[in-house]
Chain A
């Protein structure tokens, strides 16, 4: 069984919700990413989303744009990020890792070589922000043939007809984008999120993860009550941004926020 499916199955028996942190691979420098991944696991991560830096991150707000720029200043490539996952896997065989990014680096590498390298590195799933299910058949097939999953996004603007299509093609979990906007947007409206999740839940058994606008323990707890997983990105990347030259401080701030969210989520459900 895929690590992601296994993770949600295990959480179901305990009644807890998944905490999914996002960091950008290579930020603030490639040498630190694997350590940060382990740090996230120690402070409560169930699944890690690792971002592949891209020169033109159209769906991201300033926080993750700058993370991409810091990573690209070190020429962090898709191949490098896959190598980071591979190194991480040497000491962590259990935590699921989803790769998140934009299509062009994958397109340039080629779908089949990418899928082979990702599988060899221990990647469990891939989320391509700018590849809706309509365009994803070939990549999804390449991933699936090697046991990896394709994660798709859902948005407040997704009408029922599209929701059916996405639910039909989704694997692993569905990533519900809580607000209209880019990453790091303003706070989400939990009632609105709940209404949308209820609508989606009538169509699928896939776990529903909520991202965008989750900043602290309180928002994480509120979302954990209505969703199966909480995704946090910009709030963590901000810890990196504030302390680019201080590895110890990055780690202590990251794990601080993670532990706060973990505790608040576990207390809420």
Chain B
């Protein structure tokens, strides 16, 4: 059996989770990453920095987010008690802000006046533009042209917040291309620019620091479950694109072996074909965007186009810690299709009055399936990572409604 305490001590000093992670970037960025590692190492032990972060989470983000007992959903499913961790109630509407608050504080300490970010669904872009507005930092967001089209509301929100949104039309014009372009911009402006990566992937130290900033989700869930139920949950469910909300939920529970964990990838049109974004379920290890991890690549190592109804999950890679947790068998990685996610979107909206993001709908879809197989005295927590207002147009279009 793997020593799970040792697992929680990863990554190593060089940023490795077993064979995964590391730092695969061109030389120009290496020094900036070294500096960032050093800065984070120092500040993460600095009580003043922690206090500042905690204060912002409480008073600006509105934490703790509730752990809500979804009574009608539980009755509807007829299995385990289903709780929702309400990250959708955070300021800006998703878990992304937990991380941007933390990284913007780091940026402030570096003295760099500009921040950049990549975004898929636009949630990370909005969360970055928001903290940049608050701290008076100049902000540029890179977003795939395809995603700009399907997430117009978030594009306008970012512009209102004072960010410049750069449309990326190279490659597949989605999240991976936005990340390529953000990296290219960073390499050119590394002296005055801080790159706020939105997911628990990328070169070391990003997977570690994003996880640490998102781990508030799991820590609160633990405390809240003890308060509400007097015990830990039996199962945790979270959706996975790059995997930041999932690692934030899972990380504090790694040593609690009684807690089963499920990461839900985007099954797109189904895992039998190529139209999905499920590297952990169907991919192989490789190197992209600064880290070694499971990827969707063809037999020649070219990155494959992905598909998901949700822009935030439409990514061919995944954070390296998830790759490691898959290999050691601590987390189960599964998928929900577009259709299952859309069905879950409607169910949760209709019977709980909560409109979930399409990304989070994948977790809801699998969570309902899993809860149905569990006894009524069991507890299952779904991380509701974001709210669905941004997806209303997409869902309406699929349902054939013009608004």
Contact of A180 among B171, B188, B287 (CB under 8 A): B188
Given contacts A104-B297, A130-B290, A134-B14, whether A55 and B26 have CB atoms under 8 Å apart is no
Which positions 45-95 of chain A face chain B at CB distance < 8 Å? 54-62, 65, 72, 75, 77-79
* Pairwise interchain contact B300-A157, C-beta atoms closer than 8 A: no
CA gap between A175 and B287 in the complex, in Å: 22
Please tell me which one of the listed residues B14, B23, B32, B180 contacts residue A157 in the complex, with CB atoms under 8 A apart. B32
Cβ of A134 to closest chain B Cβ, rounded Å: 7
- Contact between chains at A107 and B286 (CB < 8 Å): yes
Q: Which of A116-124, A147-155, A199-207 contacts B (4 or more CB under 8 A)?
A: A147-155
Contact B26 A103 (CB under 8 A): no
Chain A residue nearest to B182 (CB atoms) is: A58
Q: Roughly how many angstroms separate A135 CA and B27 CA in the complex, as a whole number?
A: 12
Q: Which B residues between 239 and 296 are near A, CB-CB below 8 angstroms?
A: 284-290, 292, 295
Q: Judging by beta carbons under 8 Å apart, are A78 and B300 in contact?
A: yes
- Nearest to B24 among chain A residues (CB) is A130
Is B2 at the interface (CB under 8 A from chain A)? no
A229 to chain B, nearest CB (A): 17
Asked whether any CB of chain B lies closer than 8 Å to the CB of A113, the reply is no
Kindly identify, within residues 93 to 119 of chain A, every residue whose CB is under 8 Å from any CB belonging to chain B.
102-109
Task: Tell me, in angstroms, the Cα distance from A61 to B23 when the chains sit together.
Answer: 21
Q: Is B85 an interface residue (CB 8 A)?
A: no
Q: A56-B176, A103-B287, A130-B26 known; A79 and B300 CB under 8 Å?
A: yes
Interface of A (DSSP majority class): loop
A233–B32 CA distance with the chains assembled, in angstroms: 26
Query: How long is the Cα–Cα vector from A153 to B30 in the complex, in angstroms?
Result: 11
Q: Could you tell me how many residues of chain A have their Cβ less than 8 Å away from some Cβ of chain B?
A: 44
Whether the Cβ atoms of B26 and A158 lie closer than 8 Å is: no
Contact at B187–A158, with CB atoms within 8 Å? no
Q: Is B183 an interface residue (CB 8 A)?
A: yes
> Are A180 and B297 in contact, CB atoms less than 8 angstroms apart?
no
Q: How far is the CB of B25 from chain A (nearest CB, A)?
A: 6
Interface of B is mostly: mixed
**Cβ of A241 under 8 Å from chain B:** no
Summed over the interface, the residue pairs from A and B with CB atoms below 8 Å come to a total of: 123
Please indicate the chain B residues that have their CB under 8 angstroms from the CB of A15 in the complex.
Answer: none
Report the Cα distance A109→B297, complex, angstroms. Answer: 12
A135–B171 CA distance with the chains assembled, in angstroms: 27
What B residues does A162 contact at CB under 8 A?
Answer: 30-31, 34
- Which residues of chain A from 151 to 200 have a CB within 8 Å of any chain B CB? 152-159, 162, 166, 177, 180-182, 185
Given known pairs A104-B301, A134-B23, A135-B22, the reply for A58 and B180 (CB within 8 Å) is yes
Knowing A72-B302, A177-B27, the reply to whether A59 touches B295 (Cβ < 8 A) is no
A131 contacts B by Cβ under 8 Å: yes
Once bound together, how far apart are the Cα atoms of A182 and B30, in whole Å?
15
Question: Is the Cβ of B25 less than 8 Å from the Cβ of A132?
Answer: yes
Q: Are B301's CB and A157's CB within 8 A?
A: no
Are A104 and B286 in contact, with the CB atoms below 8 A?
yes
Q: How far is the CA of A185 from the CA of B187 in the complex (A)?
A: 11
A55 to B316, CA, bound (A): 12
Known: A55-B302, A103-B287, A105-B302. A153 touches B295 (CB 8 A): no
Minimum CB distance partner of A79 in chain B:
B300
- Minimum CB–CB distance for A25 against chain B, Å: 12
Chain B residues with CB below 8 A from A158, complex form: 27, 30-31
User: Is B374 at the interface (CB under 8 A from chain A)?
Assistant: no
Residues in B whose Cβ lies below 8 Å from that of A55: 171, 302-303
Q: Apart from A107-B286, A130-B24, A181-B187, what 10 extra A-B contacts exist at CB < 8 Å? A: A56-B176, A57-B180, A75-B300, A105-B300, A105-B302, A107-B292, A131-B287, A132-B30, A162-B31, A162-B34
Interface residues of A (CB under 8 A from B): 54-62, 65, 72, 75, 77-79, 102-109, 129-132, 134-135, 152-159, 162, 166, 177, 180-182, 185
Nearest 4 A/B pairs, CB to CB: A105-B301, A108-B301, A153-B27, A77-B300
